[in-house]
Amino acid sequence: MKKFLISFGAILILIGAGGIVNHISMTFKAVQEEQEMYGGSFEFMMLQLIGSMGPYITLIIGGGIIIALSAFLHEYQKRNELNSQLIQVLSEQLSTKEIIEKSTPQSKPDNLKLNSDTTTTTTTTTTSDLDETEQKKDERLYWNG
């Protein structure tokens, strides 16, 4: 699709440039003939014939827009690929963190046999850790695809 758009835009630009060159050469010949036959101002005759170059200029502008659109689509596709890779890596990291966090609270109760004071402080920290893991479970991953 991108190759087609680039080639089509290039063809439009070439046709427009060729048309302008052909139109200018024909305009000079026609103005010279009219000036020999009727006389008059050369600049005024050129000004009258230059107005008919609109289609050629439109072809050049259209070809440029099509090429720019093709470049935009190419960069947009790269951006989407990078975003999907980023989402995949982030989801893998979050899943490994959740596995590690699930395994750590189970090992903490074995270390709680020291003092009653340390036991209360350690239990409050484990409850706060559990609250954080519950909050992280509620976070949702959104995939733009």
pLDDT tens profile 75-134: 999 999 999 999 999 888 888 877 777 776 554 444 444 544 544 554 555 555 555 555
> Token digits for 17?
């440039």
Residue at token pair 């050469």: 25
Instruction: Name the average pLDDT for the chain.
Output: 78
pLDDT in the model for residue 143: 65
3-state SS record for 41-88: CHHHHHHHHHHHHHHHHHHHHHHHHHHHHHHHHHHHHHHHHHHHHHHH
Q: What angle do CA 144, 131, 104 make, to 5 degrees?
A: 95
